[in-house]
């Protein structure tokens, strides 16, 4: 899947725009950007009606919005700055229903068309098809990656390219051999534990070398797309 991050475009129109451009998924980025739960709800509702996946990224493993983004209609959750198996287990505890976790039983949900359902059926249906992803983007997270990948209830590890390089003392050097070795270690941990691999912030020309088996690539975001595309267009017109 190739996705786009949404940092500033907080309207339902983001879904047909992303879909029309050929993206497979939209990620509402509540870590880097101005968007919050209200915008997520609108975008997720549009995604649900269109059959287009809408995920969310929160601010970290201790965010108070872990389960709330799921209640708002996100079908996937990416949690940044996961540095330990304990933090991964905390995410599962908040986002999975019992017996695996302890997510609170919600009101009727947008992903279930707000149907009134018995609690058992509600939890069974609401818990189905939710993807939980932990981001590895620090030296501490890399050191614990095998243990994080082993946590039941975590479906995917997502590499935060820029922060990982920064955490390894290689700011802006994603093509450095040490960063490539880190990518390969994370990919091995994912494969060993039957999880999926995702990447964010990875330059297009490095995808083949760094993440050939990635199931999810967040290829860009709305801000970068507008600035980069606009700069190229203006540059051509000014020649």
Contact 185, 193 (CB under 8 A): no
Residue 104 to residue 23: CA distance in whole angstroms? 32
Contact 50/17 with Cβ under 8 angstroms?
no
**Among the options 32, 81, 176, 193, which is catalytic?**
32
Query: Is residue 32 among the annotated active site residues?
Result: yes
Write the Ramachandran bin of 73: left for phi over 0, alpha for psi from -120 to 50, otherwise beta: left
User: Who contacts 70 (Cβ-Cβ below 8 Å, separation ≥6)?
Assistant: 77, 95, 103, 126, 130
Q: Where are the beta strands (DSSP E) in 66-172?
A: 76-79, 131-136, 156-160
How buried is residue 112: exposed, middle or buried, by Cβ count under 10 Å (0-12/13-18/19+)?
Answer: middle
Q: Going by C-beta distance under 8 Å and a sequence separation of 6 or more, which residues neighbour residue 81?
A: 60, 61, 135, 137, 138, 141, 163
Task: Report how far residue 43's alpha carbon sits from residue 123's, in angstroms, rounded to the nearest whole number.
Answer: 23
Which residue numbers are catalytic? 32
């Amino acid at each position: 899947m190739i996705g786009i991050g949404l940092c500033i475009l907080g309207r339902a129109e983001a879904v047909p725009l992303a879909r029309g451009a050929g993206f497979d998924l939209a990620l509402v980025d509540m870590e880097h950007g101005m968007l919050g739960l209200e915008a997520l709800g609108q975008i997720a509702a549009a995604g649900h009606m269109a059959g287009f996946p809408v995920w969310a990224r929160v601010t970290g493993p201790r965010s108070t919005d872990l389960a709330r983004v799921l209640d708002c209609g996100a079908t996937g959750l990416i949690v940044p700055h996961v540095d330990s198996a304990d933090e991964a287990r905390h995410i599962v505890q908040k986002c999975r229903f019992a017996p695996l976790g302890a997510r609170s039983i919600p009101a009727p949900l947008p992903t279930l068309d707000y149907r009134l359902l018995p609690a058992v059926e509600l939890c069974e249906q609401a818990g189905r098809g939710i993807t939980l992803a932990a981001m590895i983007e620090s030296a501490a997270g890399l050191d614990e990656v095998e243990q994080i990948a082993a946590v039941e209830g975590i479906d995917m590890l997502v590499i935060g390219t820029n922060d990982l390089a920064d955490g390894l003392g290689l700011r802006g050097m994603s093509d450095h051999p040490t960063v490539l070795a880190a990518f390969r270690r994370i990919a091995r941990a994912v494969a060993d534990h039957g999880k999926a691999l995702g990447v964010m912030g990875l330059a297009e020309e490095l995808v083949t070398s760094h993440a050939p088996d990635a199931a999810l690539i967040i290829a860009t975001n709305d801000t970068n797309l507008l600035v980069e595309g606009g700069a190229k267009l203006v540059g051509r017109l000014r020649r």
